[in-house]
Structure 1
Amino acid sequence: MKALCFLGTGKYQAVTYTWVDTDGNAKSYSTELFPEAVYHIFEPSMVYVFVTKEAKERYLPKLQERLKDKLYPVDIPDGKSEGQLWEIFEKCADIVKDGDEIILDITHAFRSLPLIVFTVAMYLRQTKNVTVKHIVYGAFEARDENNCAPIFDLTAMVDLLDWINGVNAFVNYAAAEIFAEKLVHTQKKLRMGGGTISSELPTHLQEIGKKLRTLSLNLHMNRPIEVMKDANDLLSMLGRAQAELQTWAKPFAAIAKTLSKEISELAYAEAEKLTKQNLEKQLAIIAYCIRKNLIIQALTLARELAINCLFFSCGMKDRWLKQREREEIEKLINSYAQEQREESQKDGRIEPSCPDELKASLGRIWKDISTVRNDIAHCGMRESPIRADTAVEKAKGIYDELRRLLDHISE
């Protein structure tokens, strides 16, 4: 385990720094230089201390005398420009190797260095599989009448950044893995703490996490029926867990209301029953996928929604999930797109009663979907592939066409 510490140029005074761990055990050490307390309290294998030229001249000799070969000084600039800040960032990152455990100490860090420390912590966790054991701050200003100062554990701030990443992933890409992991881990950690189970500890966080993961997976795997069910279940779970979220998962609770509003657009309890509301929910899922930049999913769902609209309009609501019938309806719509059908094609096939206006609308939409979807499905392997940004715009146009189609379909 490595400790990354800083030395400034302040007038440091001796104080007894005290650390209390999660089990209530306390450790103390008296010194005016906090990196020394870090070494004796947390027992890292090496203390890396980052020093400017002035700090090096003022305090480093004293610290070297006390920690000897356990101290490794790292020269850094004053941090007075963006370039110097990047240099400090790179020196912090270079010290740490893959799989290291680290303690970050910001007690004597000056100006913007604490922000750099937090940034380094997130960067190392993502790129080098580093475990941030603690981010500590020796609160000299909070010392008591006995000249004892607490050591604050700020590691929860890194945890908060994880939640922020979770918000970003879900809000922008419908990716719920970070949320799911945080919620499941939070409940397990709390309920296993001390080997006892308390009725006051959370009981709903884990189920919300798992349901979020399932909803996200079904969105990415084009399972609209399951998405409607998952969203409906999740709304109920979020309603039951409001108090728990406020107590045990505040970062998630802060966006729970927004999340509920968003997924309510997708929720439908009778997802396997073909109704006008079901069609509307399918269209809402397409809009949701477009907003999250899941264009392949949106186009694939648009194709199936076109088929479902014909099932619904022609009174075949009880047959919409039968594979053979779907194949026949697909061929039928394809013929609308081709604007011609030979008499031999009709023999033995489903031939629902369908208004000519609906046939024409479905034919136009089917053409548009097929053009973009086939280009994407074949990975643009053709002489004149559709540009990716053009495909996005075409997906939005197809959504608008489906919206107009549904507006003219009545229950």
Structure 2
Amino acid sequence: MRRLSGSDLRRCFVCSVGLRTREMCYEFGGKRCVTRFAPVATAVLREPDLCGSRALVVATREAYEGPYRELAEELRRAGLEPQALLVPDGRTREEIFDMLRILSDAVEDGEEVVVDVTHGLRHLPFVYLVALVYMTALKGIDIAGIYYWPAELVSPPVPLIDLTSLFNLLRLYQAVETSRRTGDFRLLEEALAEDRWVRPVAGDRHGERRGPGPDLPPVGGALKGVRQKLGPLARSLASGLPLEAGIVAEPLLKKLETLEEHPDVPAVVRMAVQPLRSAVERVALPEPPPRRWGKKAVRLSRELLEHLLGLAEWYIERGNAPAGLLVMRETLVSAVVLACGGGKDWLAVGRTRREAEAALNAAAQRHKLHLADGGQDRLGRLWDQLSRCRNEYAHAGFRTENVDAGSAIDRARTFLKDCRDLLKDFPAPARGTGRLLVAPLGRKPGALYTALRAMEPHRLAVVVSRETEGRVPEVLERAGMTHLRDRLKLLRLDDPHRGFREVQGLLDDELHRWFVSSEEVVVSLTGGTTVMAYVVERLAACARRLGVSTTKVAAVDTRSAEEQEADPYVMGEIILLDGAAPAGPDAGGGGS
């Protein structure tokens, strides 16, 4: 509860007055007060800090014209400022709602409220209760105390019954229900504040003291331990961080076990943490890492992937489609890393996960171009659909298309089922065989000759013009690569000097199949016009999008132009421009 002091403290006393009152002796804390009105005893004995505060007295017209004036005078003598709230009898629903409105309008935003429910109509405490619930949420009030003097049950002096914990129980119910429905435990963290449930030290009015120094009563320490671990879990789950949530869940489970076994924990608190325990067990990692290593020591495994999909389901069940989609996306990336044998550094964003994402993007491209089948095709389709759905939320809807949030949960459920089906037999990464060389052929054949001799490709795609396409057989013969005539694709440009836009027409189905069926693609940028070099660059980008290892090289001949013209078929030099060095000649399969 919020505790205010000094000039910021704004307190309000809410009570009622009935028609039948009699003088009684009330006792609390070793002191006594003789009065006809229980609210006066509350103000004098239990809440002396109310001096100077407003006293809102709920009264029917009959009570106002009867005992109210005497009660108001006694409240003034106690230092309060009484204000009558005239209400109907509350015989109908409309009258009850009217009572709620009158009471709610009278209490100001942010006030600390003390309530005495002793006098008045029998159903009035229920009105108080509902009004307090609403005002706590809508006006930010703080309930400092709810009190009742059971004069009809005992002989004088009448003792005080503190009902504040019942209101706290309502807040605990609200927190448990919120966490159960939404998966957000932040409200439960607040509701488990130990000063709501630990018996105060004698003479400590609000339970603020816990004894000398940092020593807490055992039950207070147990509650504090749960809250300290519940906070990080709540924030991690709310932020969509399954690994962080899973790591902190293990110590929280131990704290919950201690709390549940503590004999002094109120039964209502023990009941509240039971659903919390089952939820935390669902969040906890299957193999918690050593505390000193943290997330770096989380081992990538099939069990972890299944656990992550369970967390995605957790979010989906609670209507949080963006978090569920994001967790599924990262689970697929992790599954590719595991399938590729990269479990050790599986969280490394710089290379490991980026390469896995590239493989998934390639699978999606292959699916769109009908270049995959079986598990790879299903993986590509799922990644494409999941990514597009997730991207609808990634930029907060700032896109021209409307985001249909209503259908996202149904789509997420479908994606989750597809993810689980794929995980049962996750497809191995698609890999082709052999090397594809993509190179231009301009007026001088030397660069193509050098690239052929150096790369010894399994397939060959040559960017040519009308003037140069006839020289390809000659280059193959001089390079000793006549076997490539059956694995040759000519990509002819109508305008080799200005035809930058012709590249799209060259990317036909056959070339796409050549890309995906190759283990690697090597593109040589030299030996043609500027347009030819541009086309080769674009073809390399296409191969990369399809997930094929791609390397760019330059074939260089340092001889003079005259020497090159006189004898073009001289082995030059290959310069690696980017990517990894091409595999050795054996990978190319050039000898067959």
Tell me if TM exceeds 0.5: yes
Residue 235 of structure 2 aligns with an amino acid whose one-letter code is L
Residue 41 of structure 2 aligns with an amino acid whose one-letter code is A
CA 322–241 in structure 1, closer or farther in 2 if over 3 Å, else same: same
Matched with 1:53 is: 61
Indicate whether 1:281 and 2:307 are aligned.
yes
Aligned-partner SS, 2:27: strand
Aligned equivalents of 1:409 and 1:263: distance in 2? 28
- Equivalent residue for 1:36, pick from 36, 40, 45: 40
Deviation at 1:275, TM superposition (A): 0.9
- Equivalent residue for 2:227, pick from 197, 203, 209: 209
Aligned-partner SS, 2:344: helix
Indicate whether 1:7 and 2:25 are aligned.
no
> What does 1:145-224 align with in structure 2 at a 5 Å threshold?
147-186=156-195, 192-195=209-212, 197=215, 200-224=218-242
Aligned equivalents of 1:64 and 1:202: distance in 2? 40
Residue 185 of structure 2 aligns with an amino acid whose one-letter code is A
When normalised by structure 2's length, the TM-score is 0.61
CA 302–121 in structure 1, closer or farther in 2 if over 3 Å, else same: same
> What does 1:3-402 align with in structure 2 at a 5 Å threshold?
3-9=13-19, 11-19=20-28, 25-41=29-45, 42-43=47-48, 44=50, 45=52, 46-64=54-72, 66-67=74-75, 70-144=81-155, 147-186=156-195, 192-195=209-212, 197=215, 200-244=218-262, 247-268=264-285, 269-270=287-288, 272-323=298-349, 324-339=351-366, 357-402=374-419
Deviation at 1:314, TM superposition (A): 3.1
Aligned equivalents of 1:131 and 1:265: distance in 2? 34
Deviation at 1:181, TM superposition (A): 2.9
Deviation at 1:279, TM superposition (A): 0.7
Give the number of the structure whose alpha-carbon radius of gyration is greater.
Answer: 2
Aligned equivalents of 1:221 and 1:64: distance in 2? 52
Identity of aligned residues (%): 24
Aligned equivalents of 2:148 and 2:343: distance in 1? 65
Indicate whether 1:403 and 2:407 are aligned.
no
Aligned equivalents of 2:393 and 2:127: distance in 1? 42
Residue 26 of structure 1 aligns with an amino acid whose one-letter code is G
Aligned equivalents of 2:105 and 2:357: distance in 1? 58
Deviation at 1:199, TM superposition (A): 6.5
Aligned equivalents of 1:362 and 1:296: distance in 2? 20
Deviation at 1:14, TM superposition (A): 1.9
Report runs of 4+ in structure 1 exceeding 6 Å deviation: 187-191
Aligned-partner SS, 2:67: helix
Residue 361 of structure 2 aligns with an amino acid whose one-letter code is N
Matched with 1:351 is: none
Aligned equivalents of 1:4 and 1:396: distance in 2? 50
Residue 361 of structure 1 aligns with an amino acid whose one-letter code is R
Question: How many residue pairs end up in the alignment?
Answer: 390
Aligned equivalents of 2:383 and 2:72: distance in 1? 75
Kindly indicate whether the alpha-carbon contact (under 8 Å) linking 1:18 and 1:27 is maintained by their aligned counterparts in 2: yes
Deviation at 1:52, TM superposition (A): 0.9
Aligned equivalents of 1:77 and 1:357: distance in 2? 74
Aligned-partner SS, 1:141: coil
Deviation at 1:198, TM superposition (A): 6.2
> Cα RMSD between the aligned structures?
2.8
Aligned equivalents of 2:272 and 2:256: distance in 1? 11
Deviation at 1:229, TM superposition (A): 1.5
Kindly indicate whether the alpha-carbon contact (under 8 Å) linking 2:168 and 2:191 is maintained by their aligned counterparts in 1: no
CA 378–270 in structure 1, closer or farther in 2 if over 3 Å, else same: same
Residue 212 of structure 1 aligns with an amino acid whose one-letter code is L
Deviation at 1:140, TM superposition (A): 0.6
When normalised by structure 1's length, the TM-score is 0.86
